[in-house]
A and B are shown apart, each in its own frame.
Chain A
Amino acid sequence: MNAEQRLLKWVYALLLNLYPRAFRDEFAFELQADFEDALRAAAERGRFAVIVFFLRELRDVVRAALVERWKENSMDSNPIPRLGRVAVGFAVVPFAVLLLITLPNAFRIYLPPWIAPPLLTFFGLMILIGLARGLPEWCLPYVGLCFGIAALFSANFMYPILQPLYRVSQAAWWVTALNEGVLWWGWLILLPGLLLVTALVPPLRSFYRRVCQDWTVLSFAVYGAIPMVLLLTFDEYLGEEWYVAAACAVLISSAYLYLQRHRHTQRVMVLVFGLSLCAGIVIFAKWILLPYQLWGDVPKPPTPDTFGYELVRALAMWGWMMLMIVVLPALLGKLLARFTPMRAV
């Protein structure tokens, strides 16, 4: 086999990565062996035959890999078990709590401060029960909320790094966007950390195995932090209650739909749709509410620039959250699936 054929063989082996993992595990060796035989036979017929053969293989491998992936996604060969009603109820509580504590404010009914400690105790208890049961899906929004708070605190470490940027141009839109993302950078450590812990601690390994099979469970965990983001987004706003309530209703519905879906693609689409609708509500709310806000030591109405600033913030928030809900979990899930032997899964 000459250098040219070795190169074609290498390209072909690389293209086999387009197939789903299960297919590769079963047939990759035979595919490569047959390709090698067929390549050798084509080489005996001349250079032109090799080119025709390789182009045909190239086209068919891509087409066949896409077909296999589509079939794998559309099949319920690995159905996601449906949660019971009680479990679904517990899963939507973190989203419902924000609704319940925000909505009374719209009617000028303010909840007493003593409600916070029992609420936080309940959240902590849910996380402990979830940990004891191997992090089932219903407890992931609680874990997400807890991680969201941790990410918020870790953001303090990021600000000194960003200080030089603020000095360069504090008003630039990209600095604003970057600043919005600081709240989320902690997830880059927290999510891999969670996976590492669940891989090492035997009672939590069932969660690690679930991530290998369905990375959207990580997305659902991150989704649990959105109520906290909503609170931060509307910090110091007046009259935001109805909009926060609408966003909470979207979050509750999308969390419910997520838990009812069996297919991974549908699950992630539900979360993306819920997140995008929330971002839309936030932008609309700010557009309506901004003229009525009186901020600063000396009350003065916001300038037109303020809306631009708030719009960039909301869009940046959406972008960062998309990154943390879709891209990061997908990358981590694919990496785990690739490097974790199937038998271990």
Chain B
Amino acid sequence: MAQATDNLPLSETTFYILLALAPAPKHGYAIMKEVRALSDERIELSTGTLYGALKRLLETGWIEPVRERKMRASLRLRRAYTLTALGRSMLAAETKRLEALVKVARTFTAKGRV
């Protein structure tokens, strides 16, 4: 776990992308839609931001391309991405870190200090 915590905290974009990929593999546009929905339409990823992040995640081995789906209009293939075991553990570690933060904040506010 030492390796996972070294990379924390994750950026909000990275966290949402990993979260979007957690239930099932998705291609780029599906990730964009999912992130938008997960963040209550607060975060709208552009294609440039998304693929910059996906490239980084592929390089670190947190995600991997899983299958290729043929596009209707052409014979080109469109990749979908899925979380690797490492990516999943990173997501779990970040979730745990955020939970700990929220817990501290709740305890603090419950004591009426904020």
Contacts and interface: CB of A to CB of B under 8 A. Distances in A.
Interface in B74-88: 76, 78-79
Contacts of A65: 48
A33 B48 contact: no
Interface in B13-61: 27-29, 32, 44, 46-52, 54-55
Interface in A43-76: 56-57, 59-65, 67-68
Interface stretch (A22-30, A195-203, A311-319): A22-30
A87 interface: no
Given A26-B55, A27-B55, A30-B78, A64 B48 contact: yes
A27 B49 CA distance: 12
Given A56-B44, A56-B46, A57-B47, A34 B55 contact: no
Interface residues of A, number: 22
A294 interface: no
Contact of B52 (A33, A56, A67): A67
Given A26-B55, A27-B55, A56-B44, A33 B71 contact: yes
Contacts of A61: 46-48
A38 interface: yes
Given A38-B47, A60-B49, A30 B55 contact: no
A75 to B, nearest CB: 10
Contact of A57 (B28, B46, B52): B46
Contacts of B79: 30
Given A31-B47, A64-B48, A23 B28 contact: no
B47 A35 contact: yes
A23 B29 CA distance: 18
B52 A38 contact: no
23 contacts: A23-B55, A27-B54, A27-B55, A30-B27, A30-B51, A30-B79, A31-B28, A31-B47, A31-B48, A31-B51, A33-B29, A33-B76, A33-B78, A34-B28, A34-B32, A57-B46, A57-B47, A60-B47, A61-B46, A61-B47, A64-B51, A64-B52, A68-B52
Nearest first, the 3 A-B pairs at minimum CB distance are A64-B48, A60-B46, A60-B48
Interface of A: 23, 26-27, 29-31, 33-35, 37-38, 56-57, 59-65, 67-68
Given A23-B55, A56-B44, A64-B46, 13 more contacts: A27-B51, A29-B76, A34-B28, A34-B32, A34-B47, A35-B47, A37-B29, A57-B46, A60-B46, A60-B49, A61-B47, A64-B48, A64-B52
